[in-house]
Structure formats: C-alpha cells, structure tokens
Amino acid sequence: MESRIACDSTSLGAAAGVIYCAGMRPVVAVDLGGTNIRAAYYPRGTPPAVRSSRRATGAGDGPTAVLERIHAAIEDLALSAPEAEAMIIGIGAPGPLDPATGVVHHAPNLPGWHEVPLGEMLSRRWGCPVKVENDANLAALGEWGHGSGRGAHHLILLTIGTGIGGGVIVDDRLVRGWRGLGGELGHLPLVADGPRCSCGQAGHLEAIASGTAIARAYRQVGGGPADGPAITTERIAAAARAGDPRAKAVFNDAADAIGRGLSGLVHVFNPERVLLGGGVVRAGEWFTGHVERALRESLMDATFGEGLQVLPAELGDEAALLGALTLVTSDA
Ligand SMILES: [Zn+2]
C-alpha cells in the first residue's frame, strides 16, 4: 500500500487532515456531449469509478443552462469537503477548443457556444485545477491509457460514427498542434470535388466514409426508402451480411477510403497501432478487415506495415471519460 505520509508533493486537503499525493488525487472526469453530460469520480485517480452520473445536456437551452447542468453532474457525485478540495477535473467537450486556456471556440452540437471559458468557469466554481480537451482527442487518450492502446507509445485512433474523429499519440504525447486544434482526422481531403463535408469543404474523409455518408450513398444507389425513417448503418450492415450487393458496395467504398486516409496518417506518424472505433466499426470484422487491407495496400513501403497492429478500440462510450481521467493523471 502506498504511503500517504511519504508523499511530499502536496498538502492539498491538509486542512481536513488528508494528504493526497499527486498520483492519487481524486479525479472528476466529465464528458460533455450534445446529448448527455456524464461525470465519473475516481477517488484514487484510477479506474474503476466509484460513482457516476448522467443527465441530458439540454443543449438548446444555451451555455449558461448547460454549465449549470455540468455543475449539477459534479454535485451528483457527492464529494466530501476534503475530496472536493483536493480534486482535479478533466473535461471533454466537442468542437474546436484551446486546451491551454480551456476556452471552447465553438461546438457544432451546442447552440450558442462561442468562446466559452469552460475551464475557468469550472475552476472558479469548484476551486480546483481543471483541464479541458477535445472529446475526440480524449477518446485517443482513453484508449492509450486504459483501452486497446495500452502499452503503445505511438498510436492513431480513428472513430467512425455519425462523423469521423480521432486522435494521434506520438512518443506518449497527444498531438495537439500549435493552437490545440490538431487531430481532426475526419477532415483529411481525399477527393477533389467530392461530397460536401459537415465542415463545408468538399471530399473530406468524413463526407465519404462516416455513417452519415454510408447511409447517403446507400440511398443514392436505391437502397432503403427515399422517404420515411432514416436508414441506419446497422441496417445497411445487416443487409450487406445478408448478401445485398449495394449495401456491400457502399461499405467497401467507405472501407477503401478509410484505409487510404489511414495510410497517409501512417506515413506521417509511423504508429505501432491503429485503433478503429465508433458505431460503424460494429458492422463487423469483414469491414475492419477491408479497412486494414486497403490501408496496407496503400502504403508507400511495406516497412511501415511491419509489426503495425490494426485493432478495434475497446472502450466504446467510456473512452472520453477515461480519456479525461488520463488527461489529468499523465503528462500526455
Ligand atoms: Zn470536413
């Protein structure tokens, strides 16, 4: 058992007679999403969480209401006074943000969020350090710290869902770039004059291979009803498994694009592991296998592929929370 007494790093919580070492500070992790706000409490800075909470974001009510709900989500964790005094908060938010200042520049799924000083507002309310990071980057940190990226020093996570996001870790550090905007893997330009992307540009990976793009491509070849309920990638994947050639073709096209995009990233970053996450990956191994083949066939030199592992991400919905935990307990 580690000794609290031997710890000389901090006297946080000392007033209440509790001394916490830096490595075992209580951590509150928060995942702010367009639909839900989730929070989890890790008293010793390691999983599992001893308490967690979830509430609707109510994004349409605007930033002030959402911030109150974030505070309430933390309050739900029922921290004692010494715990709250010693804690550190890690929070993931959607959209471009500045991890150095904790300011969310804007968040597409959170109406009214423009230049919101999220880190400062949480820090002022709770009187503790707060670290803020983009949720897609946090998913990569989560997989690196606690998922299928464990033990790797160089990895790429690509999350293929409604959109495409991801993160890159090099030398055990998250690649953030100059202003913290790095890692927008869904916006790799692949096809000149290709389909319009959610960002407004044409031909980005997200516009070609996300779940949204797969469903659109399937409708365009006559799969699924032109009107009526939107067809899901789960249903298209089931149709592909049942032998529907149109469904297979749209998934194969997406897998080809993802593999080609990833090969470019592999050339730039030379990772030892590539992790594939997100709902579209649940289509099955035939899909991820196709992605891996397309990746390897697009490499400039086979050396890049030697020892390279392509694996499913394993944390699912927990990735951002565990990433927020990793954010505040590591130097990554
Ligand atoms: Zn884009």
- Which pLDDT tens digit goes with each residue over 46-73? 999 999 999 999 999 999 999 999 999 9
**210 alpha carbon – ligand 1 mean position (Å):** 11
Q: What is the pLDDT of residue 228?
A: 57
Q: How far is the CA of 264 from the centre of ligand 1 (A)?
A: 16
How are strands ordered across the β-sheet holding 36-42?
Answer: 51-56, 36-42, 27-32, 88-93, 130-134
The beta strands (E) that lie in 69-124 are given as 88-93, 97-98, 103-106, 114-116
Task: Output the CA 206–ligand 1 centroid distance in Å.
Answer: 6
Determine the pLDDT at residue 269. Answer: 98
C-alpha span between 153 and 171 (Å, rounded): 5
In the reported structure, the alpha carbon of residue 163 is separated from the centroid of ligand 1 by a whole-number distance in angstroms of 9
The rounded Å distance from CA 188 to ligand 1 centre is 7
How many A from CA of 326 to the centre of ligand 1?
Answer: 28
pLDDT for res 222: 87
Q: 69-96 in b/e burial notation, b at 16+ Cβ within 10 A?
A: bbeebbeebebeebbbbbbbbbbbbbbb
Dist. CA 323 → ligand 1 center (Å): 24
Whole-number pLDDT of residue 225 = 66
Is the domain defined by 14-140 classed in CATH 3.40.50.300?
A: no
Residues 324 and 92: beta-carbon distance below 8 Å: yes
What is the predicted pLDDT for the residue at 229? 63
pLDDT of residue 3: 32
- Cα(100) to centroid of ligand 1, in Å? 24
Cβ atoms of 70 and 53 closer than 8 Å: no
- Centroid of ligand 1 to alpha carbon of 289 (angstroms): 25
Non-local CB neighbours of 324 within 8 Å, separated by 6+ positions: 27, 29, 30, 31, 90, 91, 92, 131, 133, 138, 142
Distance 211 CA to ligand 1 centre (A): 14
54 contacts: CB under 8 Å, gap ≥ 6 = 36, 37, 38, 39, 73
Q: What is the CA(199)–ligand 1 centre distance, in A?
A: 4
CB contact at 8 A, 287 and 255: yes
138-186 pLDDT, tens digit each: 999 999 999 999 999 999 999 999 999 999 999 999 999 999 999 999 9
Q: Compute the distance from residue 201 Cα to the ligand 1 centre, in Å.
A: 5
Q: Which residues of the chain fall short of a pLDDT of 70?
A: 1-23, 225-229
Half-sphere exposure of residue 169: CA atoms within 13 angstroms, side-chain side: 30
Using the mean position of ligand 1's atoms as its centre, give its distance from the Cα of residue 216 in Å: 16
Domain 151-314, architecture per CATH: 2-Layer Sandwich (3.30)
Q: Using the mean position of ligand 1's atoms as its centre, give its distance from the Cα of residue 236 in Å.
A: 24
Residue with tokens 């209401």: 65
Query: Which element (helix H / strand E) includes 29?
Result: strand 27-32
For residue 185, how far is its CA from the centre of ligand 1 (angstroms)?
9
How far does residue 187's CA lie from ligand 1's centre (Å)?
Answer: 4
> What interhelical angle do 118-126 and 63-75 show, nearest 10?
40
Q: Which two tokens stand for residue 268?
A: 């730039």
Distance 13 CA to ligand 1 centre (A): 46
Cβ within 8 Å of residue 279, ≥6 positions away: 160, 161, 162, 211, 233, 234
Delimit the domains of the chain by residue range: 14-140, 151-314
Ligand 1 geometric centre to CA of 207 (Å):
7
pLDDT of 287: 95
Q: What is the three-class DSSP state of 203?
A: coil
In angstroms, the first-to-last Cα distance of the chain is 26
Instruction: Determine the distance separating the centroid of ligand 1 and the alpha carbon of 195, expressed in angstroms.
Output: 10
Expressed in angstroms and rounded, the spacing between residue 269 Cα and the centre of ligand 1 is: 21
Instruction: Kindly give the distance from the C-alpha atom of residue 161 to the centroid of ligand 1, in angstroms, as a whole number.
Output: 14
**How much is the pLDDT for 314?**
96
The rounded Å distance from CA 202 to ligand 1 centre is 7
